[in-house]
């Protein structure tokens, strides 16, 4: 009898400790790629409560919220330079005179979700207090403020093991009990696509983006990448993304200085990649063109397709590339990209192409099936796959088609 009671106690103890040890992310979050806004790309650490409240208002009045963007994320620079006497992080009192809880409440009151930033190291990239050694305490603090999304960076980590550091923070979030999207930001250095599926909802795949299309930017000791460079680093990891766990090729630079064609191309390609759509522009000063790019519902629907399959590069020749994204209901998105610096002609005979993808099991023979073509930027029906598709495509521009089966 006594032996049985001991056995039962051991089983209960094992269950208890293992459920804590292996506590995992909130599984139901981010079944489609997260959409939102983040302060970094335009403002870096120059943020303050009033400016951000205005940004929240513009988020709503510009139609971004109605287009599906939901997270409002503060990046680096929101904290005071030191923790308080109890080791608690404090919002910089000059930047946030009403405190962070009040700001989070304001974000929520406008129908948005609130995100915040910290870092797995001893300090953030901007030199503010990092979370290393304070994981559970910080997670509880965020939960008490009503945080819905945590971006977790990788500066000042010295010899810390990446996988362990991110797992610890993931467990801390679970233990705090408030569902938060956990965004890993270790720049793809340790192959997070191989181990982070159960740790967080998205993981950065590269170093930082900058608002340039075809060129990188030299920042002294490191370079930030242009849109095309980041694009070229995504194809080999597409099999690791899916509902609830996404490759993150970094935040959007739409509206931050590229041409209209480049903005359209950047946005289309990120949607083809099923990338998180985190805008990074000044929402208070958007041109009608920028709004039309960021809120194009047909293009966003390609990103948010519930199948959750990333595109693959089907064709590449002389600067013209073709990307294919399988969608639910046997439809497809096809994006023609002109990465060259001259105008090109698309002359695509569907019937001469078999499109096969071993990852999604897509297998299309346009001789057997006909698809109707919808141009998602011109918003026009442009024939079917029974006819050769011809169009001029400007330098750095895209043609984005949705294909729906007609027989």
Q: Enumerate the active-site residues.
A: 153, 208
What minimum distance in Å lies between the beta carbon of 95 and ligand GLA? 15
Number of residues that bind ligand GLA (CB under 6 A): 9
The CA R_g of the chain, rounded to the nearest whole Å, is 23
Minimal CA–CA distance to 265: which of 218, 213, 308?
A: 213
- Nearest-approach distance from CB 268 to ligand GLA, in angstroms: 22
- Closest CB to ligand GLA belongs to which residue? 125
Q: Of the two residues 153 and 310, which places its CB atom closer to ligand GLA in the complex?
A: 153
Examine residue 179 and tell whether it contacts ligand GLA (CB under 6 A).
no
DSSP 8-state assignment for residue 258: S
Determine the 3-state secondary structure of 152 from DSSP: strand
Q: How far is the CB of 115 from ligand GLA (least distance, A)?
A: 12
Return the residue of 39, 62, 65, 76 that touches ligand GLA, per CB under 6 A: 76
Contacts of range 314-320, beta carbons closer than 8 Å, 24 or more positions apart = 314/355, 318/344, 319/344, 320/344, 320/346, 320/393
Q: How large is the greatest C-alpha to C-alpha distance in the chain, in angstroms? A: 84
Q: Which two three-digit tokens encode residue 277?
A: 């759509």
Instruction: Compute the least distance from the CB of residue 392 to ligand GLA, in Å.
Output: 36
User: Is the Cβ of residue 78 or residue 96 nearer to ligand GLA in the bound state?
Assistant: 78
How far apart CA 327 and CA 73 sit, in angstroms, is: 29
Residue with smaller CB distance to ligand GLA, 73 or 400? 73
SS (H, E, C) 83-144: CCCCCCCCECCCCCCCCHHHHHHHHHHCCCEEEEEEECCCECCCCCECCCCCHHHHHHHHHH
The number of residues making up the chain comes to: 407
266 bridge partner residues: none
Residue 92 as a binder of ligand GLA (CB under 6 A): the answer is no
- Smallest separation, CB 182 to ligand GLA (Å): 15
Residue 62 or 124: the one with the smaller Cβ distance to ligand GLA is: 124
Q: Between residues 124 and 296, which has the closer beta carbon with respect to ligand GLA?
A: 124
Span 141-170, contacts to ligand GLA by CB under 6 A:
153
* HEC letters along 176-239: HCCCCEEEECCCCCCCHHHCCCCCCCEEECCCCECCCCCCCEECCCCEEECHHHHHHCCHHHHH
Binding mask 110-129 for ligand GLA (x = CB under 6 A): --------------xxx---
> Which is it for strands 35-38 and 277-279: parallel, antiparallel or unpaired?
parallel
Give the shortest CB-345-to-ligand GLA separation in angstroms: 38
**Could you say which residues in the range 12-41 bind ligand GLA, by CB under 6 A?**
40
Among 185, 265, 274, 401, binds ligand GLA (CB under 6 A): 185
Nearer to ligand GLA, 185 or 274 (CB): 185
The tokens of 68 are what?
Answer: 């599906």
Q: Which is nearer to ligand GLA, 126 or 242 (CB)?
A: 126
Q: What is the sign of the dihedral through the CA atoms of 296, 243, 272 and 193? A: positive
Please report whether residue 186 would count as binding ligand GLA according to CB under 6 A.
Answer: no
The binder of ligand GLA chosen from 49, 208, 305, 321 (CB under 6 A): 208
Considering the rule CB under 6 A, would residue 305 count as an interface residue with ligand GLA? no
Smallest gap, in angstroms, from Cβ of residue 150 to ligand GLA? 12
Considering only residues 40 to 69 of the shown chain, the ones binding ligand GLA according to CB under 6 A are 40
Binding site for ligand GLA (CB under 6 A): 40, 75-76, 124-126, 153, 185, 208
């Amino acid at each position: 009898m006594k032996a049985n009671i001991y056995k039962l106690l051991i089983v209960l103890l094992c269950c208890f400790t293992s459920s804590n040890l292996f506590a995992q992310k909130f599984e139901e979050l981010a079944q489609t790629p997260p959409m939102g806004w983040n302060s970094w790309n335009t403002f870096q650490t120059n943020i303050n409560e009033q400016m951000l409240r205005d940004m929240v208002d513009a988020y709503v009045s510009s139609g971004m919220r109605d287009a599906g963007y939901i997270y409002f994320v503060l990046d680096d620079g929101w904290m005071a330079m030191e923790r308080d006497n109890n080791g608690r992080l404090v919002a910089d009192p000059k930047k946030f005179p009403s405190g962070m809880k009040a700001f989070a409440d304001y974000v929520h009151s406008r129908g948005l979700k609130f995100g915040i930033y910290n870092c797995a190291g001893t300090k953030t990239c901007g030199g503010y207090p990092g979370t290393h050694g304070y994981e559970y305490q910080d997670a509880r603090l965020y939960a008490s403020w009503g945080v819905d999304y945590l971006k977790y960076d990788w500066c000042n980590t010295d010899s810390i093991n990446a996988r362990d550091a991110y797992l610890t923070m993931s467990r801390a979030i679970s233990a705090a009990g408030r569902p938060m999207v956990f965004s890993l930001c270790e720049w793809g250095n340790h192959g997070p696509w191989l181990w982070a599926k159960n740790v967080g909802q998205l993981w950065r795949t590269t170093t930082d983006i900058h608002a340039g299309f075809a060129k990188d930017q030299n920042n002294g000791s490191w370079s930030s990448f242009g849109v095309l460079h980041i694009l070229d680093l995504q194809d080999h990891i597409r099999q690791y993304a899916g509902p609830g766990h996404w490759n993150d090729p970094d935040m959007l630079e739409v509206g931050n200085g590229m041409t209209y064609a480049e903005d359209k191309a950047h946005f289309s390609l990120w949607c083809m990649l099923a990338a998180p759509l985190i805008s990074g522009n000044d929402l208070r000063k958007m041109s009608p063109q920028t709004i039309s790019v960021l809120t194009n519902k047909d293009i966003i629907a390609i990103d948010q397709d519930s199948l959750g399959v990333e595109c693959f590069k089907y064709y590449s020749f002389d600067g013209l590339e073709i990307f294919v994204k399988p969608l639910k209901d046997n439809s497809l998105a096809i994006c023609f990209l002109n990465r060259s610096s001259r105008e090109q002609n698309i002359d695509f005979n569907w019937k001469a192409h078999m499109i096969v993808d071993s990852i999604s099991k897509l297998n299309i023979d346009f001789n057997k099936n006909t698809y109707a073509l919808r141009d998602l930027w011109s918003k026009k029906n442009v024939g079917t796959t029974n006819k050769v598709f011809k169009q001029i495509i400007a330098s750095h521009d895209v043609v984005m088609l949705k294909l729906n089966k007609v027989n």
